[in-house]
Amino acid sequence: MTASAATPTPMPQIGDKRLSHRPGNESEIATEVLVVGGGMVGMAMAAALAGAGIPTVLAEAEKLPDLTADTFDGRSSAIAYGSQQVLNGIGAWDYMEAEAEPIRDIRVSDGAWHMTGASPFFVHYHFADLPAGAVPSTGKAGQPPFGWIIENRAVRRGLLRRLGECPALTHLPGSSVRDIDFGEKGSRAHLADGRVVSARLIIAADGRQSSVRRMAGIGARTLGYAHAAIVCTATHELPHHGVAHEHFLPVGPFAMLPMTDDVDAAGQRRHRSSIVWTEDERIIPMLLQLSDADLGREIERRFGPTLGHITPIGPRFTYPLKLVLADTYVRDGLALAGDAAHGMHPIAGQGFNMGVRDVAALAEKLVDAHRLGLDLGSMAVLEGYARWRRFDNLMMVAVTDGLTRLFSNDFPPLRLVRDLGFFLFNKTMPLKRIAMRHAMGVVGDLPRLVRGERL
């Protein structure tokens, strides 16, 4: 497979007429829904609601240029097929598809073996192994891929373009929420610039350290891990052919995720992958200070020779790894979504996908209630969302935490059991097909957007 070079889409700027910005001297803004947090989940939520005609305000503490800057967020996300259906359904996918690389194969292995040669102890998923009709149809010929790898800043650019097309949206970048007065008939959010937003429903999409969750008095269980993630982009000699690799090493998972090719300053095409490298947090500062050549050799030591010589390019980032689970997802006039409700280990690449499922479920409940003239902030509407999403998220949090603990060690008897499990699982096609559909995000009680249907 030859990937096309990525062409960034233009980003709306502050004051762009496509974004509905309120003048700074307007002291109070009334709306149906206030979304706090303009990250990927918050923007997707605002696009889903405003695109369906619900008056929505999106408040984000960061300024627009910062959200898509190369130095802001170096991560890439695995967009599962079900999440792509949601992004397509809210009108954003067309603005990011050119920068998305399809995942056609997934190879998972116990990294203890990869340096000693070939081993039968791995799991291999190939997109063509799913029978026709196993996933909701895209309307296109052929079996869809498992998902796509796309840089977070490209996702943000695409969502910003979609937001600029939504007349029901008021976008307030550079506006942090100072405090919130919660009331029975609505809430008033006080912004740091002195403005006030009154809304019947506030949606907290402001991350794992959610200030809105704290203001609402909702607790959260947290669990830290003794390691952190190094994230960077690397070039390699050989094409990746759309294969996503994950090696389980004693300290944690090491992933090489296929990205679109690009062209360097000399006009030469480069094969690229995104690296998500879990490492002992005590040695991360040393690794980040290595030269590109030395860091490339460290990557090759952990990944092996599959892609040839590897060279990191661009900025390097590190992120702490922490499990977060809110005590409840809703209260009268408030709903939590994305990392504000649940933050998980990136071992399975499902964090953003779980947030997109939150968007699809909550948007469906709110759009249906809006059409019936119901109070969007009432518990009668919000409880259905909480029941729908909490079990799914709890299961994914438990699975990612369990996998992290199972594979983050090199105890020989346990490693033998793991590898035998890999071998048997890889030979059992019915189980593999169920797992592949899980990876694609098309298992369970699916919202309309995930099924490829309109809100």
Taking 70 as the threshold, does the pLDDT of residue 6 lie above it?
no
Domain boundaries, the chain: 28-102+148-222+324-439
Q: Which range is most confident: 12-26, 337-351, 406-420? A: 337-351
Tokens 């249907």 belong to residue = 453
For residue 8, pLDDT over 80 is answered with no
Per the structure block, which two tokens stand in for 81?
Answer: 């097929």
Answer positive or negative: Cα dihedral of 319, 321, 327, 330.
positive
Whole-angstrom distance, CA of residue 214 vs CA of residue 233: 35
Burial 227-264, CB ≥16 within 10 A → b, else e: bbbbbbbbbbeebbebbbbbbbbebbbbbbbbbbbbee
How does residue 159 score in pLDDT terms, banded at 50, 70 and 90?
Answer: very high
Instruction: State pLDDT tens for residues 243-252.
Output: 999 888 888 8
Tens digit of each residue's pLDDT (9 = 90 or more) over 113-143: 444 444 556 788 887 787 766 676 555 556 7
CATH class, domain 28-102+148-222+324-439, is alpha beta
In three-state secondary structure terms, 190 is strand
Q: How far is CA 392 from CA 79, 325, 366, 399, 445, in A?
A: 17, 12, 19, 11, 9
pTM, entire model: 0.88
Q: C-alpha 237: how far from its chain's center?
A: 28
Instruction: Please give the Cα distance from 439 to 104 (Å, whole number).
Output: 12
Task: Count how many residues are written for the chain.
Answer: 455
Does 292 have pLDDT greater than 90? Answer: yes
Residues 6+ apart with CB under 8 A from 332: 182, 184, 377, 378, 379, 382
What local confidence, expressed as pLDDT, does residue 421 receive? 77
Identify the pLDDT of residue 18: 35
Cα distance between residue 348 and residue 80, in whole Å: 11
Percent of the chain at pLDDT exceeding 70: 89
